[in-house]
Structure formats: structure tokens, C-alpha cells
Amino acid sequence: MLFAEIVATSGGVAATAARSTKADLLADLLRRLDDDEVEPAVGFLTGEVRQGRIGVGWATLMAIVSDPSAEPTLTVGDIDLAMSELAATIGSGSGAARASLLSRLFGRATEPEAAFLVRLLGGELRQGANEGVMVDAVAKAAGVPAAAVRRAHMLGGRLDTCARAAITGGTAALEQIGLQVGRPLRPMLASTAPDTATALEDLGRASVEWKLDGIRIQVHRQGDAIWVFTRNLNDITARVPELTDAIARLPVTSVVLDGEAVAFDDAGRPRMFQETVSWRARAEGDEGAAAATSSPAAPDAVTDDADADVEVEIALDQAPAGLRPYFFDCLHLDGRDLVDEPLADRLAALDAAVGPWRMPGTVTDDLAVAAAVLAESLGAGHEGVVAKAVGSPYEAGRRGKAWRKVKPVHTLDLVVLAAEWGHGRRQGWLSNLHLGARDPAGGFVMVGKTFKGMTDALLTWQTERLGQLEERATKGTVWVHPELVVEVAVDGVQSSTRYPGGVALRFARVVRYREDKDPADADTIGAVQALLPG
């Protein structure tokens, strides 16, 4: 199939708001693909190529200069092969080699194809073909129940491979995809609740557990074989020997565990998320991993853990000062799959399997008890709690209501110092804001950036207003007179060497502009620093 058909379908999906119409358009395309084209096509249309991280940034994409092809000639196979070549281009000189590969690829692309590739590689492919819509489309194309596709997706981990199984083998092929020790499952996610009282009102009796700011891990063990996967299903087994050593001591034959890994400082306090990841990188001398921690949203390390025998107790006492595991769910134990069992049964299995490596928490329907667990978690330097309905099965994918995370949300009034021009769908708008806190000694101290929480109407107003305040500009950034005060919500802050105040915002998003406030009313750098844990 010509790649142009993928691009045209993407355009059709983006042009309609109706979920059923999106699914129909995608299903029609899926039916016309050759079997070998299904997996790459699903990746292209959901914005996640099957090769994983390609290693191409916006700077590389923006530097490509080539005249568009007049006629479409690229096939789905051509693009898939190019993605594989880009992913395999690593090491010294890889930047120039990737640029050369991209120049040749874009030289064969039509203008619409090139625009699609820029958005795909730049992570800006916002067209409405998310995983949920694609699951519906696969079910329609294959003539199978959507529930069968969703379950196979959870157990098999990858939507592209499940799509091929459904289209080539129907329901029977999907039913062959079961839990397999050594193959990662998609993780269950939590939605947000404003407080523990609301969470318990929604859930009833629940397991209220600490929420850590660590690396989400999924651990598999079959005999002596051990695997450790990240939230994004990447295999990091070789990089976490302290975790594999702990798992090797568990009193089990086969097990699949869900949990978090956290690093602690010399005083026994948990390190912040970026410190946990960078500690791991420094321990390995891995410059790439260390560089990934410069962003507070590193893709592969995002958070959201019978009687213990003597060996486990000893292992805990002798644990290294590096990563420590906390497990909060057990999905398989010694030949028994548990994903469909209620949480209460899974927690019983968890106790038998991990003993002291269990995530702290308690089962309760008492609001005071839940509030106390939250206070304990925060007092220990962690993020908050997750409340989980005790009767719920393990369901991956969408953020359902069976798990509810509760953590304090802070708001800050900051000053806009600059803004970067948007890419992809935000082309032509000033999007990524540079945010500054007030320095009592004079001026403003940059503490982070955000492009989140903005509607199209706000982006339009923001672009016009910042244009009126422009002081200087480059091709990608406009620096403005520090006049506009914007209220942002943050999950917290973290230590940073990137900004002069030594602190950076975590997961900042725009709440509203405060035109009722002057820059002199903005929060000080001291107020931002005060949000640092401890």
C-alpha cells in the first residue's frame, strides 16, 4: 500500500469528531493492508512506531531541506524500513547519519507525506486515532468483539501485533494471546481524585497505598530467569542488578509483579524522580540515560507495589544503597494467573510472594484511616496515595475508576518570560511558555516551561498578546517584556542544574492568565524552592 493512503486516512480521522466515524475510516484502511503491513500501519496511525524510540529530535527535523516529490511513491514498507534504519543508527556520528537518512526519505515524500512524517517523528501526531479508537477499528476490520482485542492487547502488550493477530486469525488467534511470564503486560493506570474522602466515596472498601515518585517496574521470574520491564514495556533487566538480586531471593518459582523502584539518599529519604533515574545512569556511566533525565517527563521512567522466609528478610537488611523495589500487585504466582482475580486475592498472593518488599498501605473504608495513610506517605517524602477497589480485576489501558491517585496539587503565579513557536498542530501559535518566579532582589528567575493546558482559543489570544510584548526573537523563540502573570498547576518541583534558581517545575500546566495581577504579585523563587521535598 502507498504511504499516501495512510496520510489520507489520518487526515480523514483528524477531520471528524465522531469516534465511530474515526473507527470506520481506520477499519476500512486496515482491511486493505497486506498482512505484513498491518503492524507498521497501526503504529503510524497511533503515533507510536513499532521500532520504539527513533532518536530524532525537532532540531534534526527542522534542519531537513528537500524539495517535495510531485507524486507519491513511498510504500508502507519503505517507511517501516526507514524507521528501522533510523532506530539502528546509534553511536559516534549517528546524528549526521540520521540526518542523511531523513534527507533521502523526505526527498521521496510528497508535501503531505513529509508533513505527516514530521508530526510522527516529532511526537505531534494529534489526529484522534488513539489506542481506544484503534481497538474499535481493529475489531470492526476483523469482525471480532472489541473486548477480545482489548484483552489481547493487555496481555500481549502491543496493539500492532494484536491487530495483525485479529485481522489474520480472528477471535481464535486473539484467544491464543495469554499471560506469558517473560512477556510484559500493559500496566493498569489510575485516574485522579481530589482527596482520599472522594476516592473512598467512589470506591468503597479499598486498599490505600503509598504513591512513590520512582520508576514503574514490572518484574517477571520463571525459575532462575528474571526480567524487569518499564512502564513502556522496555526491558531494563541488565541495568538493575540490585532489583534482580532481590527478585532471585523471593520464595517463588514463577511470578509477575507490578511495582515501583526508588533510590534513597544517605539519610534514608527517597530521591526525587529525576535523581532516581540519573543515579541509575551514573552508576552505569550511561550518558544517554542521564541526558533523558533533563526532562521531568522521561518516557521510560514515569510513575504514576504465605509468610516471608528468612532469605527475604536478610535480603532486605542487605539491600544496596541503590534502587529498592516496592511491589503493589501480583499478576501471576507459581502457575496461577491472577489478572482476573479481585484485588483482595491478588494482595494475598502478593504478601506470600514478596513479604517486606510490599508497598506500605492498608485496606479500609474509614476516611480517617485513609487520611492517615496519606499523611504517612507525605511525611516519608513520597507523592501521596493510590486507593484501589478491593473487588477490582487488573485492567490495563484507559485510566479507569478502580484505581484513584491522590496527591497534593500546588498552584503558582509565574511570569511569562518567553514562548516558543509550536510544531505540528500548533504551527503558527506561540505555545511553549518560559516561566519565571520573582526574585525579591530584582528581576525574574526561570523555573521551567509548559505547553500544557491550553485551548485553541487561549493559544490564539496568547500568540497575539505575547506578540505585543516582544522584545527580541529568534527563529523558534520570542522573548517578551515580563508583564503577563499566568497561574500554573504543578505536581511539585525538583532540584535542577538547568535553571539559576536550582529548581524546576514538575508537570506544569496552565490554569489561567491572571490579568488581575501585576508581575510584582508573582510568587517568589523562595516560594517555589519551598516546594522541594523535605
- Judged on CB neighbours under 10 Å (0-12, 13-18, 19+), 464 is exposed
- pLDDT level of residue 279 (50, 70, 90 thresholds): very low
Q: Which amino acid is at 447?
A: V
- What would the grid cell of residue 283 be? 552508576
- pLDDT level of residue 264 (50, 70, 90 thresholds): confident
pLDDT score of 516: 77
Of 4-8, 34-38, 121-125, the least confident: 121-125
Helices (H), 380-455: none
- pLDDT level of residue 180 (50, 70, 90 thresholds): very high
Collapsing DSSP to helix, strand or coil, 435 comes out as strand
How many whole angstroms from its chain centre is CA 451? 16
* pLDDT value at 319 more than 50: no
- Residues 487 and 410: their CA atoms lie apart, in Å, by 10
- Residues 310 and 249: their CA atoms lie apart, in Å, by 10
- What would the grid cell of residue 296 be? 521531568
- Residues 161 and 138: their CA atoms lie apart, in Å, by 11
Backbone angles phi, psi at 49, to 5 degrees: -65, 150
- Residues 513 and 460: their CA atoms lie apart, in Å, by 13
Interhelix angle 146-156/131-142, nearest 10 degrees: 120
- What would the grid cell of residue 92 be? 559516534
> What are the tens digits of pLDDT across the range 307-316?
222 222 223 3
Q: How do strand 254-263 and strand 225-230 relate by DSSP bridges?
A: unpaired
* pLDDT value at 335 more than 50: yes
The per-residue b/e assignment along 232-261, b for 16 or more CB within 10 angstroms, e otherwise, is bbeebbebbebbbebbebbbbebbbbbbbb
Q: Report the percentage of the chain scoring pLDDT > 90.
A: 57
- Residues 477 and 468: their CA atoms lie apart, in Å, by 14
> What are the tens digits of pLDDT across the range 383-422?
899 999 999 999 876 677 899 999 887 889 999 999 999 9
Q: Calculate mean pLDDT across residues 82-108.
A: 88
End-to-end CA distance of the chain: 57
- What would the grid cell of residue 138 be? 481493529
* pLDDT value at 210 more than 50: yes
pLDDT score of 447: 95
Distances (CA, A) of 10 to 119, 161, 402, 412, 422: 12, 20, 33, 38, 20
pLDDT score of 289: 36
DSSP label at residue 185: P
Tell which wins on pLDDT, 293 or 116.
116
- Residues 51 and 54: their CA atoms lie apart, in Å, by 7
Q: Look over the chain and give the mean of its residue pLDDT values, rounded to a whole number.
A: 85
pLDDT score of 302: 26
Tell which wins on pLDDT, 475 or 295.
475
Q: Which of 211, 388, 405, 407 is the catalytic position?
A: 211
Q: Calculate mean pLDDT across residues 181-196.
A: 91
- Residues 320 and 335: their CA atoms lie apart, in Å, by 30
Q: Calculate mean pLDDT across residues 168-181.
A: 93
Sorted by sequence, the CB contacts under 8 Å of residue 368 that are 6+ apart come out as: none
* pLDDT value at 531 more than 80: yes
For the question of residue 211 being annotated catalytic, the response is yes
> Which residues partner with 193 through β-bridges?
none
pLDDT score of 283: 44
pLDDT score of 292: 34
Do residues 163 and 37 touch, judged by C-beta distance below 8 A? no
Collapsing DSSP to helix, strand or coil, 495 comes out as strand
DSSP label at residue 206: E
- Residues 448 and 504: their CA atoms lie apart, in Å, by 5
Of 120-129, 248-257, 338-347, the least confident: 120-129
Do residues 180 and 157 touch, judged by C-beta distance below 8 A? no
Of 203-207, 321-325, 480-484, the least confident: 321-325
- pLDDT level of residue 277 (50, 70, 90 thresholds): low
- Residues 488 and 411: their CA atoms lie apart, in Å, by 5
> What are the tens digits of pLDDT across the range 453-507?
898 989 999 999 999 999 999 889 999 999 999 999 898 888 888 898 899 998 8
pLDDT score of 321: 46
Q: Calculate mean pLDDT across residues 308-326.
A: 46
Tell which residue, 321, 484, 313, 462, has the closest CA to residue 414: 484
- What would the grid cell of residue 30 be? 486496515
- pLDDT level of residue 74 (50, 70, 90 thresholds): very high
- pLDDT level of residue 424 (50, 70, 90 thresholds): confident
pLDDT score of 273: 56
pLDDT score of 400: 76
Which residue has cell 515518585?
213
* pLDDT value at 158 more than 60: yes
Q: How do strand 384-389 and strand 400-406 relate by DSSP bridges?
A: antiparallel
Distances (CA, A) of 234 to 51, 239, 249, 401: 11, 11, 23, 26
* pLDDT value at 68 more than 90: no
Collapsing DSSP to helix, strand or coil, 157 comes out as coil
pLDDT score of 95: 83
- pLDDT level of residue 114 (50, 70, 90 thresholds): very high
Instruction: Locate the DSSP E strands across 474-514.
Output: 477-480, 485-490, 492-495, 503-506, 509-513
Do residues 220 and 256 touch, judged by C-beta distance below 8 A? yes
- Residues 13 and 487: their CA atoms lie apart, in Å, by 34
pLDDT score of 231: 85
